[in-house]
């Protein structure tokens, strides 16, 4: 056996997956290929075993923390899938691989709690396994709600979902389900039955969609009624998908995974649309969209609000001296300091070296801006062999005007005065 780390590249990729992967495959060329694919995609360490004896030794040593095992069913000293029982007994989650499809064996293996059963028909099978590993890792921080009045069905579905590493909460009817969605905002997907007391699946879905769109919460309708039009009715009311009961483990997993992946794609697109590509802070569009709501709320409820505009001093000189790559490093460093220091405020990069911020605590705005100015002044970073230091000028206004634009213009006038007065200072109006 050998630990495959694949860290001989110029830049070693930081592991995105906690724990190692145990890869059990007696064909060394396939094992090395799969290990490299897993490492290159997820940065994880892969431990290879070629037979059951080595697996037993690894488990007995108890020196490794495994995220999961990817195991061939047919090994030289365990030709009938005995390795699965050993891994399950050691509480190691398993993805099973085989070169031959056998429906009875498939049912037997899945009944033991194996995550999935993959036919090694081509390289595509290993691509599927690599993507599945990533899906399982994301599942650990993904919450799913099951709404069904049948405790038996809830228990069955929950057990299937937990095999996939998902966090599962349950509700006995639509009313309870709505309360859980309101209380637990991190729920990403709901599986809801049609026939329930108090509030059925259709009514539940209508209430959900009145507050959360498909892009915010995925909903899969379920029913055992067997009526052909039920799926269409669910979809017309805003469901993302539909499953007929009873669902097989594989169908359930595929439907759930596809819907979660779609949600993640939407979230990724939304993040790109609303965040600055370089610094990760809110971009101009997102800042004005969210800031406009804060401003209107402050006006309507007569709340206090402060607008802050800040600018890195002599940034053009930094670009001219160290190039635009060096300037990007400075911007990222500055943005990291900014995001950490003002983690509870609305902060955005609106262009170049200029940053906007809205403060809902006007009593502390000057104090916190001053401590940030000192933090920037005292910070330093290396660009090659050069040690770079820089400062920031800050303009602040606490006067609610007719619009957010006007407030920011007032803060910008304060920034201009700060720069004209010598930079590296705060001016408040």
- Other C-beta atoms within 10 Å of 4: how many? 20
User: For 134-144, how does the pLDDT look when each residue is reduced to its tens digit (9 = 90+)?
Assistant: 999 999 999 99
Q: What is the mean pLDDT of residues 324-329?
A: 95
Say whether both 322 and 364 belong to one domain: yes
The CATH number covering residue 100 comes to: 3.40.50.2300
Say whether both 148 and 133 belong to one domain: no
**278 lies in some domain:** no
User: For 350-395, how does the pLDDT look when each residue is reduced to its tens digit (9 = 90+)?
Assistant: 999 999 999 988 888 999 999 999 999 999 999 988 999 999 999 9
Determine the Cα–Cα distance for residues 223 and 149; give it in Å rounded to an integer: 12
**115 lies in some domain:** yes
Q: Give the mean pLDDT of the chain.
A: 92
Name which of 246, 249, 142, 226 is nearest 190 in CA terms.
Answer: 142
Determine the Cα–Cα distance for residues 145 and 180; give it in Å rounded to an integer: 8
Residue 158: both structure tokens together: 């929950």
- Taking CA 54 as the corner, what is the angle to CA 135 and CA 89, rounded to the nearest 5 degrees? 60
Confidence tier at 13 by pLDDT (50, 70, 90): very low
pLDDT reading at 222 higher than 60: yes
Determine the Cα–Cα distance for residues 260 and 410; give it in Å rounded to an integer: 45
pLDDT of 372 reads 97
Say whether both 226 and 359 belong to one domain: no
Confidence tier at 11 by pLDDT (50, 70, 90): very low
**405 lies in some domain:** yes
C-beta separation of 118 from 128 below 8 A:
yes
Residue 105: both structure tokens together: 């064996």
Residue 255: both structure tokens together: 């439907």
**Containing structural domain, residue 42:** 2-137
Q: What is the mean pLDDT of residues 306-310?
A: 97
Number of folded domains in the chain? 3
**277 lies in some domain:** no
pTM, full prediction:
0.81
Which residues contact residue 400 at a Cβ distance below 8 angstroms, ignoring those fewer than 6 apart? 295, 298, 299, 304, 305, 407
User: For 27-68, how does the pLDDT look when each residue is reduced to its tens digit (9 = 90+)?
Assistant: 999 999 999 999 999 989 999 999 999 999 999 998 889 999
The CATH number covering residue 337 comes to: 3.30.70.270
**279 lies in some domain:** no
Confidence tier at 15 by pLDDT (50, 70, 90): low
Lay out the sheet containing 187-193: strands in order across.
Answer: 167-171, 143-147, 187-193, 218-223, 241-244
Determine the Cα–Cα distance for residues 407 and 276; give it in Å rounded to an integer: 22
Q: What is the mean pLDDT of residues 73-94?
A: 94
Half-sphere exposure (CA, 13 Å, Cβ side) for 179? 8
Say whether both 209 and 238 belong to one domain: yes
Q: What percent of the chain has a predicted confidence (pLDDT) above 90?
A: 82
pLDDT of 297 reads 93
Determine the Cα–Cα distance for residues 232 and 220; give it in Å rounded to an integer: 12
Question: What number of helices (H) and strands (E) belong to the chain?
Answer: 14, 18
Say whether both 77 and 40 belong to one domain: yes
Say whether both 291 and 422 belong to one domain: yes
Say whether both 19 and 130 belong to one domain: yes
Last residue of a domain, one of 246, 270, 294: 270
Determine the Cα–Cα distance for residues 190 and 243; give it in Å rounded to an integer: 12
């Amino acid at each position: 056996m050998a630990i495959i780390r694949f860290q001989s590249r110029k830049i070693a990729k930081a592991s995105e997956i906690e724990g190692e992967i145990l890869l059990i495959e007696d064909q060394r060329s396939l094992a090395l290929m799969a290990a490299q694919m897993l490492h290159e995609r997820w940065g994880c360490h892969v431990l290879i075993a070629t037979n059951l004896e080595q697996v037993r030794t690894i488990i007995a040593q108890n020196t490794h923390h495994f995220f999961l095992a990817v195991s061939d069913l047919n090994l030289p000293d365990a030709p009938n899938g005995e390795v699965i029982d050993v891994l399950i007994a050691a509480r190691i989650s398993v993805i099973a691989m085989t070169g031959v499809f056998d429906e009875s064996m498939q049912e037997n293996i899945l009944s033991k709690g194996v995550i999935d059963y993959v036919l090694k028909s081509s390289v595509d099978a290993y691509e599927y396994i690599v993507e599945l590993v990533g899906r399982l890792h994301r599942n650990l921080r993904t919450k799913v709600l099951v709404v069904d009045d049948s405790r038996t069905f809830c228990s069955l579905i929950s057990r299937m979902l937990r095999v996939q590493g998902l966090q599962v909460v349950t509700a006995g009817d639509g009313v309870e389900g709505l309360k859980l969605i309101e209380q637990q905002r991190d729920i990403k997907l709901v599986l809801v039955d049609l026939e329930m007391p108090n509030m059925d699946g259709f009514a539940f879905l209508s209430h959900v969609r009145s507050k959360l769109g498909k892009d915010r919460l995925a909903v899969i309708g379920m029913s055992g009624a067997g009526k052909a039009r039920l799926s269409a009715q669910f979809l017309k009311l805003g469901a993302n998908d539909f499953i007929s009961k009873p669902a097989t483990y594989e169908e359930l997993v595929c439907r759930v995974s596809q819907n979660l992946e779609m949600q993640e794609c939407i979230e990724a697109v939304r993040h790109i649309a609303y965040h600055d590509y370089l610094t990760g802070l809110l971009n101009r569009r997102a800042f004005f969209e969210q800031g406009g709501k804060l401003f209107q709320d402050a006006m309507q409820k007569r709340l206090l609000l402060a607008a802050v505009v800040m600018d890195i001093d002599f940034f053009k000189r930094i670009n001219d001296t160290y190039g635009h790559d060096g300037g990007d490093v400075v911007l990222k460093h500055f943005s990291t300091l900014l995001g950490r220091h003002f983690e509870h405020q609305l902060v955005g990069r609106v262009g170049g070296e200029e940053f906007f911020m809205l403060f809902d605590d006007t009593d502390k705005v000057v104090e916190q801006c001053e401590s940030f100015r000192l933090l920037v002044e005292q910070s330093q970073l290396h660009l090659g062999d050069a040690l770079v230091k820089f400062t920031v000028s800050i303009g602040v206004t606490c006067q609610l005007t007719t619009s957010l634009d006007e407030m920011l213009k007032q803060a910008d006038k304060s920034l201009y005065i700060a720069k004209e007065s010598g930079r590296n200072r705060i001016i408040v109006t």
